[in-house]
Structure 1
Amino acid sequence: MIAAELDTTNRYPPRQTLLIDADDTLWENNIYFERAIAAFISYLDHRVHSPEQVREHLNRCERSTIAQHGYGLQSFRRSLIDCFEQLSDEPVTPEKHTRIVAFTEAISSQEIELLAGVEDTLYDLGQRHTLILVTKGNHDEQNDKLTRSGLRPFFSSVEVLSEKNTAAYIHILSSYALNPRNTWMIGNSPRSDINPALSVGMNAVFIPHDFTWVLEHEVVDQPNPTSQLLKLAAFPDLQLYF
């Protein structure tokens, strides 16, 4: 659907500030990690724990690793190795280590797959609003994905955060001198995109993704009286409101 065909009667005024998430909002991301996890669980082939129990243990390993080392592919690899060491009756030999690391290699070499309509939508939104990319993760990895996506020119600024929480959003509001009532966080993660943004008085647009990382799952909060929350089915639907 092109912009000329859209019903724009519900659009917010121009010059809103749109903070836009990257992974699983602009391009596919977590599905590649899910494939690596499935291969890892199959390789472990635990004799006692079910695949679901192994996944729960891996989730705990990931939480622990992230707390110490942050996000990124290297942390994910570390979590897989820790999980294997803790659950396997066998030591992690160099051969097993190489095999586990190999499960993640397809992630780093994966071509960027933009979600449907993203590029045209960003172009259209940029005609009326200020677009700032706000993502979290390893700084170099996130910047590399942005460069390879070809989407960098659509954004006036890029923020790669170590964590997306209330303190981070307060800092962004202050750094850019933003009015929270005219500022929107757009993304697929209740935990990182929606709930902390609403908690500091910003508005939010929740665009669910079928493969949102399990560690990002939360019940979506209700906005306070000064904030607004939209839930949209797909990224191009933003053109109906902005």
Structure 2
Amino acid sequence: MRITTIGFDADDTLWQNEQFFRITQDRFQALLADHADPAHLAERLLAAERRNLAHYGFGVKGFTLSMLETAIEITERRVPASILAEILEAGRELHAHPIEMLPDAADVVARMAESHRIVLITKGDLFDQERKLAQSGLGARFAGIEIVSDKRADIYTRIFAAYGDGARRAMMVGNSLKSDVIPAIEAGAWGVHVPHDLTWVIEHAEPPTGAPRFRELSRLGDLPDLVGQIESD
């Protein structure tokens, strides 16, 4: 069966993302070094992020608000205003950080766009994702841009129906098993995992090794060959 539509994740699939969050978290831990050890602070921050996903969603804004909340809690509301100001500045800098494309990303997107309808499917802050896409120079390659609040099977069903011939003739490519691969397979599409060295713990999941439509690549540059192999079988 020919694949007609290919969805690409953005963060840590096409360009770096998690490494900049880690740098910002290190800065946050340094600011609060007198109030908590790094391991305990990281646990509290992660707990705040989990709580706040339902309120703020994914992305820089939710992360910044979670840092502020954690700073207030860990100091029992005695955190100096100067530290809160520095946390806000760290969040602004993270939001404005120039993108760093991952190897093969631009070439693979350009190549697949010549033969398939391709869609960018990402979650996070609307302005931040639009900014990064504009910097990437890849926007014109995509038949559609979908910035969603979460990635679930019904979301993939809707997107692949809107931009292609349905999930059965679609593929989703990304670094997150939890968000990019498993729900796409549940929708009926192919799910291709391209691991990244750094993955946010909330995005961790077990590989669906028994799923017939699950594939894993060590590098994004191997995607065209994989698509060709699937379509020739």
TM-score after normalising by structure 2: 0.90
Per-residue deviation at 1:42? 2.0
Q: Which runs of 5+ in 2 are unaligned?
A: 228-233
Residues in 2 aligned to 1:200 and 1:55: alpha-carbon distance in whole angstroms: 34
Find the counterpart in structure 2 of residue 181 from structure 1: 168
Find the counterpart in structure 2 of residue 3 from structure 1: none
Find the counterpart in structure 1 of residue 218 from structure 2: 233
Quote the sequence identity (%).
30
Residues in 2 aligned to 1:215 and 1:170: alpha-carbon distance in whole angstroms: 23
3-state secondary structure, aligned to 1:19:
strand
Per-residue deviation at 1:106? 2.7
Residues in 2 aligned to 1:46 and 1:166: alpha-carbon distance in whole angstroms: 44
Q: Deviations over 1:139-161 (max 9, x none)?
A: 22211110111110111111110
Find the counterpart in structure 2 of residue 62 from structure 1: 49
Q: Deviations over 1:82-108 (max 9, x none)?
A: 111111256233212111122223312
- Pairing 1:154–2:137 present: no
**Runs of 4 or more off by more than 6 Å in structure 1?**
none
Per-residue deviation at 1:35? 0.5
Residues in 1 aligned to 2:40 and 2:168: alpha-carbon distance in whole angstroms: 43
Residues in 2 aligned to 1:169 and 1:17: alpha-carbon distance in whole angstroms: 11
3-state secondary structure, aligned to 2:40:
helix
Per-residue deviation at 1:33? 0.5
Residues in 1 aligned to 2:106 and 2:157: alpha-carbon distance in whole angstroms: 28
User: Where do 1:1-242 residues align within 5 Å?
Assistant: 13=2, 15-45=3-33, 50-89=37-76, 91-176=78-163, 178-222=165-209, 224=211, 227-242=212-227
Structure 1 residues 181 and 223: alpha-carbon distance in aligned structure 2, compared to 1, 3 A threshold: farther
3-state secondary structure, aligned to 1:240:
helix
3-state secondary structure, aligned to 1:178:
coil
Which is further off, 26-35 or 121-130? 121-130
Per-residue deviation at 1:188? 0.3
TM-score after normalising by structure 1: 0.87
Which is further off, 188-197 or 93-102? 93-102
Q: How well do the aligned residues superpose, as a CA RMSD in angstroms? A: 1.8
Residues in 2 aligned to 1:157 and 1:223: alpha-carbon distance in whole angstroms: 31
Per-residue deviation at 1:118? 1.2
Q: Does the 8 Å contact 1:18/1:132 carry over to 2?
A: yes
Per-residue deviation at 1:39? 1.3
More helix per residue = 2
Q: Which runs of 5+ in 1 are unaligned?
A: 1-11
Residues in 1 aligned to 2:192 and 2:31: alpha-carbon distance in whole angstroms: 39
Task: State how many pairs are aligned.
Answer: 227
Residues in 1 aligned to 2:95 and 2:196: alpha-carbon distance in whole angstroms: 21
Residues in 1 aligned to 2:8 and 2:192: alpha-carbon distance in whole angstroms: 9
Q: Deviations over 1:37-75 (max 9, x none)?
A: 01111221155x542222121111011112112123221
